[in-house]
Amino acid sequence: MKSARAKGLHGDDIDFENTWGTLASAFREIHTKNASRLSYEELYRHAYRVVLKKKGEDLYKRVLGFERDWLSTEVHNSIQALLTPNLLVSAQAVGTSNTNERRVAGEKFLKGLRQAWGDHQVCMSMLADVLMYMDRVYCQDNRHPSIYTAAMVLFRVDILNHPVSDTDARAVLDLLNRVILDQIQMERDGDVIDKYLIKMCVGMLESLHEDEAEAEDQRLYNTSFELEYLTTSKEFYRKEAEFLLRDSDAGAYCRHTRKRLDQEEDRCKSTLSEVTTPKIQKVVEHELIKNRIHELVEMESGVRFMIDNDRLDELELMFDLNSRVDDKKMELVRAVQKRIVEMGADVNNAAVAASTAPAPAPDAPDKGKGQPQEKNSNQQTIAAIKWVEDVLQLKDKFDGILRTSFGMDQPLQTAVTRSFGDFINSVSFPRSSEYISLFIDENMKKGIKNKTELEIDAVLEKAIVLLRYVQDKDLFERYYKKHLCRRLLMNKSISNDVEKQMISKMKIELGNNFTLKLEAMFKDMTISEELTSGFKKHVEGLGDKDPKRIDLAINVLTSMTWPLETMSSGDDEEGKRTKCHFPPALERIKRGFEKYYSEKHSGRQITWLANMGSADIKAVFPKVPQKDGTTKERRHELNVSTYAMVILLLFNELPADQHLTFEEIQAQTNIPHSDLVRNLQSLAVAAKTRILIKEPMSKDVKPTDKFFFNEGFKGAFLRIKVGVVANGNKVESDRERRETEKKNDDSRGFCIEAAVVRIMKQRKELSHQQLVAETLNQLAAQFKPEVNMIKKRIESLIEREYLERIEGAKVDSYRYLA
Amino acid sequence: MSNQKLAEYVTLVSSDGFEFNLLRSAACLAGTIKKALDPKSGFREGEQNRVHFETINGVVLEKVCEYLYYSQKFAESKDVPDMDIPPALCLELLIAADYLDV
């Protein structure tokens, strides 16, 4: 076919040398940009003929030879002309010459190189056009790269990999890299550079390859420039990090790092190649963040400083940076946790300090109840409430930080929660449950006055939030029951609705079990009201129209649900509760009620707890000359405790000038010693309610003291409330506290046993480890028992033959004995 | 250089002096013509919008032009009607096709 073609149209022989001469001169014209004088068709025809004449190989080689000549003489020389000594020096020792000169020289060099590259590309594409037939026929048949590709390779070999000059062995490519890096460095230092120019040069590197295979990752850009770029950047940022850590604060460091990251991203887009973006970002992250985050967080102006000064935006930056290098944000988490625990410990210590500090004004004698003990526990209560408020404040603060700075990040959230739990439950501060309960108590009694429902709700919600952190929920329950009990019996609570609301909140938070008893307490109160009114009607029905009749309001309390033992003052041991002798008038009505009650519920026994009651007495004081000379009978309504009432009734039957000694009173009333002392103190010592006169006049009550009725008692108001010393909900003294803990431990023991039995009943056989683990698991909602305690309980259960050890088992195991 | 808007029609000249005016888009279907007229290269043909073919005579070039229009017209359609090619011209047309990279 080819021979036929040759004969038909171009049969005439051609002279190869002649033709090549024509082509070569034409090529030169092309290179010197004089193509418009040439006829494409003619050149094409020449090349076409040469190839037809099977001289393709010769032509290919000639063209390459021609190009090589051209590049290594003309182009190379023109580039050499761009190499000012300035540039060469700068390549050897960056920084010796003036930055500006260097930049200009560098730009000139880059421009020249880009020009040479651009020209080469254009010319080669023209040559390739002319030699199209050769590419199509000869190159394809013989598997040579197209003439264009081959010429590009030549550019790499003869220009870029060529030594800079005879005396300087470094390749032009190295110089190019150096210059680009230099330019980038200038930009980092704040100079303006020709980004487009660099981008072009990078483009050149990207389209050239390390070898003939032209694999994607073998592009000169990747193998040569990018590599160097990353190493120099690494070095640069390492130094910068060092410098910044030394010279600026953490906030500035974060801002700077953020800026650098953005800059590098921009640079990759505008100046270099986008494939580098992830790589350089990694370098920056590694150098500026990962290697430094620890130091950064720990800096004087680090996380701690930011938290203390509410530098929310800086914290956000810190969070952002840390999350770039570490999903779990370990460093930040650690620092935040540490800070919370520290601040929590501060709050704890402040509370301890406040509760143990001497009374703030010991020299203020007119403080009414003059007992130092009293003051001390008041102070403790204040400390408790302050503690709760401080903790809540801390919580608010960190919630704020979480929300605005950390974007509600999960790991940090759990960290914060855990830290709060840590310090609230810290071993050195065992009073959190008590304090929280006190806080609620305080609010129930006073705090929620004049507040809208919404505000009340917020207060309750806060308490619940804290409660959530408390591990020993059973201890809290104990305190809460005690405090609630006092509130209910003494009518201290402002609103029953709020109480119920609180309980339902706790129910949601802690489950049904927790509030069962609390709810039962409320139920008792309601039933008691019904009983009282029922009894009243019953008495009226009897037709006893005694004007001196005493109204009885009764609270019947289920002994299991009410923490009554905690109500009795600490002195008398349990089970030895002495029965108070009521005066006959009272005794009558008491029996009346007992009768009434046993009619309604047979088989129930009522124990009277006089120490918890109170009474309103209408007292008439004899006429006494007043200051203005008139004499007047004075009436007062005295609100006193039941005991005080019993005492006062004794004096009722006594002639005015007679007295009773302490011992006599005790013998007649059978009131427990400590209660009696306290009641007498409030009746005879406290300045405003001195209804009795004591001889000798002193604060302490001694068995030999004598008491008179104070006929000259003066009171400013009609109603006078005689408080009984130390009767409110206060922080416990250490002794009380030990008792509470002991009781708590006892009840925990039962809980553990119950849990163990429940588990074993279900599982029949279980290893010791598993049993302990499951027990812990079951009880987690209530408290965190000590493993030792569980062990003891298990021992005890074995003794009582609920369980037995499985003989010969590899690990300690137990079997349930039905 | 012909930076200005490219002329819509170009001229092909045969070895025996016949001139054919045809649409640039059609002419450029032939690889060789396209490259000869490529404004980026700036050869003489590109400047003048005129390509002289020393090796192709008028009869053949006419047929080539006919084919270029024909292939442009039916570039995207199916069931193309056959183009009538006189057997005598077959060989010469084949050679021209190879040369012109059609």
Q: What is the dihedral of CA A424, A430, A432, A435, to 10 degrees?
A: -160
CB A487 within 8 A of CB A444: yes
What residues make up the domain containing A795?
A: 734-816
Q: Is residue A596 part of a domain?
A: no
Both A316 and A169 in a single domain? Answer: no
Residues A51 and A125 in one domain: yes
User: Could you tell me if residue A94 is inside a domain?
Assistant: yes
Q: Are residues A189 and A79 in the same domain?
A: yes
In a domain, A582, yes or no: no
Buried b (16+ CB within 10 A) or exposed e, A728-751: bbbbbeeeeeeebbeebeebbbeb
| Number of domains observed in the structure of chain A | 5
Quick one: B9-100 is in which CATH superfamily?
Potassium Channel Kv1.1; Chain A (3.30.710.10)
- Phi/psi at A85 (nearest 5 deg)? -55, -35
Residues A84 and A155 grouped into a single domain: yes
Q: Which of B32, B42, B95 sits opposite A9 (nearest CB)?
A: B95
The residue type found at B41 is: S
Domain stop point among A504, A528, A552: A528
Q: Provide the 10 A C-beta neighbour count for residue A603.
A: 5
What's the rounded Cα separation, in Å, for the pair A415 and A400? Answer: 15
Q: Decide which of A482, A498, A528 is a domain's last residue.
A: A528
User: A48 and A177 share a domain?
Assistant: yes
Hey, CA dihedral for A522, A527, A528, A533, is it positive or negative? positive
Return d(Cα A751, Cα A719) in angstroms, integer.
48
Concatenating the DSSP letter of every residue in A238-255 gives: HHHHHHHHHHS-HHHHHH
Residues A469, A365 share a domain: yes
Residues in a beta bridge with A706: A661, A695
How far off is chain B from A218, nearest CA to CA, in Å? 30
Do A338 and A321 sit in the same domain of this protein?
no
Beta bridge partners of B13: B19, B52
Residue A466, judged by CB atoms within 10 A of its CB (0-12, 13-18, 19+), counts as buried
User: Residue A562 in 3-state DSSP?
Assistant: coil
Q: For residue A636, which amino acid is it?
A: H
> Is residue A135 within 8 Å of A150, Cβ to Cβ?
no
B24 reaches A (C-beta below 8 A): no
**Domain CATH for A33:** 1.20.1310.10
Return the exposure string of A55-67: e unless at least 16 CB atoms fall within 10 Å of the residue's CB, then b.
bbebbbebbbebb
Cβ(A660)–Cβ(A654) below 8 Å: yes
Please name the helix (run of DSSP H) or strand (run of DSSP E) that holds residue B88, with its range, or none.
Answer: none
CATH code for position A628? 3.30.230.130
| Distance in angstroms (rounded) separating the CA atoms of residues B102 and B95 | 11
Phi, psi dihedrals of residue A300, rounded to the nearest 5°: -55, -35
Q: CB-based contact (8 Å) between A5 and chain B?
A: yes
Phi and psi at A728, nearest 5°, equal: -90, 180
Q: Is residue A441 part of a domain?
A: yes
Q: Chain A window 148-207: which residues touch B at a Cβ cutoff of 8 Å?
A: none
| Spatial contact of A156 and A208, defined as CB atoms under 8 Å apart | yes
Q: Which long-range contacts (CB under 8 A, 24 or more apart) does A67-76 make?
A: A67/A124, A67/A127, A67/A151, A67/A154, A68/A154, A68/A158, A70/A28, A70/A31, A71/A120, A71/A154, A71/A155, A71/A158, A71/A159, A72/A158, A72/A162, A74/A31, A75/A116, A75/A119, A75/A120, A75/A158, A75/A159, A76/A158, A76/A159, A76/A162
Gap between the Cα atoms of A657 and A661, Å rounded: 13
pLDDT of B57 > 70? The answer is yes
Question: If you measure CA to CA, which chain B residue comes closest to A137?
Answer: B98
Closest CA of chain A from B84, distance in Å:
22
- Which residues in chain B touch residue A4, judged by CB atoms under 8 angstroms apart? 91
Record: contact B41-A129, CB cut-off 8 A: yes
Strand partners, A634: A621
Q: How far apart are CA A394 and CA A343, in angstroms?
A: 8
The predicted pLDDT at position A735 comes to 67
Q: Model ipTM?
A: 0.86
Domain end point (choices A289, A308, A325)? A325
A382/A259 same-domain check: no
Is residue A533 situated within a structural domain? Answer: no
Q: Are A19 and A50 in contact (CB under 8 A)?
A: yes
Whether A141 and A257 map to the same domain: the answer is no
* CB-based contacts of A20, cutoff 8 Å, min separation 6: A50, A58, A59, A62
The answer to whether A708 and A692 are in contact (CB under 8 A) is yes
Strands A614-625 and A631-641: antiparallel
Tokens 């509470």 -> residue:
A740
Query: Which of B36, B92, B101 is closest, CB to CB, to A41?
Result: B36
Rounded to 10 deg, the angle between the A512-541 and A584-600 helix axes is 110
Long-range contacts of A72-78 (CB under 8 A, 24+ apart): A72/A158, A72/A162, A74/A31, A75/A116, A75/A119, A75/A120, A75/A158, A75/A159, A76/A158, A76/A159, A76/A162, A78/A112, A78/A116
Domain membership flag for residue A679? yes
**Whether residues A363 and A417 fall in one domain:** yes
Q: What is the pLDDT, as a whole number, of residue A688?
A: 67
* Per-residue pLDDT at B3: 45
Same domain, residue pair A623 and A765: no
Residue A521 lies in a domain: yes
CA dihedral sign of residues A618, A619, A623, A625: negative
Task: State the DSSP H helix or E strand holding residue A472, giving kind and residue range, or none if neither.
Answer: none
Instruction: For residue A211, give both structure tokens.
Output: 């070898």
Residues A642 and A791 occupy one common structural domain: no
Separation between Cα atoms, residue A470 and residue A351, nearest integer Å: 17
Residue A278 CA to chain centroid, in angstroms? 31
Cβ–Cβ gap B45/A41 under 8 Å: yes
**Dist. CA A399–CA A786, nearest whole Å:** 32
Block means of pLDDT (10 residues each) for chain A, length 818 residues?
A: 40 70 83 78 83 82 84 78 63 55 79 84 84 82 81 80 67 79 80 80 78 68 81 85 80 82 84 80 80 75 75 78 75 79 79 59 36 54 78 82 79 80 73 77 71 77 78 76 76 74 78 76 79 76 58 67 54 45 72 76 68 68 57 68 75 71 76 74 70 72 74 68 56 67 78 84 83 82 77 84 79 79
Residue A338's SS3 state is helix
Q: Of A34, A41, A136, A140, which to mutate for an interface test with B (greatest number of B Cβ within 10 Å)?
A: A41
Amino acid at site A578:
T
Provide the chain B residues 68-97 that lie in CB contact (below 8 A) with chain A: 91-92, 94-95
Provide the H-helix boundaries in A637-785: 642-652, 662-669, 673-684, 734-763, 768-779
Specify if A598 maps to a domain: no
Please check whether residue A48 touches B, CB under 8 A.
Answer: yes
